[in-house]
Amino acid sequence: MTGCAECYGTFKGFYPRIVEPDFEVLHITEVIEDLLRSGKLKPRKNLKMKVTYHDPCLLGRLSEPYIPWSGEIKAYGYHDPPKQWRRGTKGIYEAPRRVLRAVPGIELIEMTRNEENAFCCGGGGGVPAAFPDFALWTAEERVAEARSTGAEAIVSTCPLCQSNFEKAVGTGKAGIRYHDLCEIVVRAL
């Protein structure tokens, strides 16, 4: 189980290119969802907050398991044998949202660019290290989009998104806060 979206995407999409894992990989939001469903976790406190959820890239569109393919590409792009394409269709989009909706008082508002079309936070892929100004600009773009929904907070579930968003939100001048999804759940217990 990983609490980090980049780790999740790496375990699912990159490591299998080297060696096929003999264990299941779950993101923490999937585990929380299970615990909520089974009644083992009971959020009770009313948090009274409007939030918008940001889909991390490696938990969303880039999180599908790697599917090895080898064959021949024939005329007009025909793949022989047929290839299974990874397009972000089966990313982890619903689990975090179901968790948020299960917390009393949370009103979840969607951004226009969400799920597989979410605008990146700019915090992953080595971008903050190589291009810190570009990473910050990217996060500020996303924060502006989040603010336009009327939400009081952006919620996500990736430490790299957290780190970059917290720089962009600054000391509250941006008019919106950042919360990690697990933090929201813990506060509601």
Partner 1 sequence: MSLPEYIYKMFEGAVGPENISDRPHILAAYRHTSPQDVRKPASPDAVILPGSTEEVQAIVRICRRYNIKYNPVTSLLSVGMPPGNEMKVILSLRRMNRILEINEEDRYVVVEPAVRHVQLKPELMKRGLSYPVPSVGPSCSVMANFLGKGEHHVQHSTSKNNRYLLGYEWVMPTGEILRAGSLACDAGWFCPDGPGPSLAGLVQRAYGVFTKAAIALDAWKGPAAMPTEGRTPAYKVRLPQDCHKVFVFKFPTLDKVRDAMIEIGKAEIGVAVLKFFYATAAVMFTVSANDFWALWESGLFQKELPQAVWIYLATWTPEEMAYEERVMWDIVREMGGEEVDKSIRNLWEDNMDFFIIVSFLQRVLKLGGGWAPVIHTESLPHTVEIAKTIPEFLQEFINKGLILDAPHNFQIIPIEYAHGAHIELLFFYDRTLPNRQRIPMELMKQSMATDIKHGHFAPTAEVGQLYGNFNLWATKIKKAF
User: Binding residues for partner 1, per CB under 8 A?
Assistant: 61, 73-79, 82-83, 85, 87-89, 93, 115-117
Nearer Cβ to partner 1 (149/162): 149
Provide, rounded to whole angstroms, the least separation between the CB of residue 78 and partner 1: 5
Nearer Cβ to partner 1 (46/148): 148
Element containing residue 50 per DSSP (H, E): strand 49-53
Cα 164 to Cα 123: distance, rounded to the nearest angstrom = 5
Provide, rounded to whole angstroms, the least separation between the CB of residue 60 and partner 1: 10
Cα 44 to Cα 41: distance, rounded to the nearest angstrom = 9
Q: Give the number of other Cβ atoms within 10 Å of residue 188's Cβ.
A: 18
Provide, rounded to whole angstroms, the least separation between the CB of residue 26 and partner 1: 21
Task: Please give the single-letter amino acid code of residue 166.
Answer: E
Nearest C-alpha neighbor of 123 from the set 107, 140, 108: 140
Nearer Cβ to partner 1 (7/127): 127
Provide, rounded to whole angstroms, the least separation between the CB of residue 122 and partner 1: 18
Cα 168 to Cα 171: distance, rounded to the nearest angstrom = 9
Nearer Cβ to partner 1 (86/177): 86
CB 41 within 8 A of CB 66: no
Provide, rounded to whole angstroms, the least separation between the CB of residue 83 and partner 1: 7
Nearest C-alpha neighbor of 135 from the set 123, 146, 147, 143: 123
Nearer Cβ to partner 1 (1/73): 73
Cα Rg for the chain, rounded, in angstroms?
Answer: 18
**Interacting residues of 173 by C-beta distance below 8 A, sequence separation 6+:** none
Nearer Cβ to partner 1 (46/112): 112
Provide, rounded to whole angstroms, the least separation between the CB of residue 11 and partner 1: 22
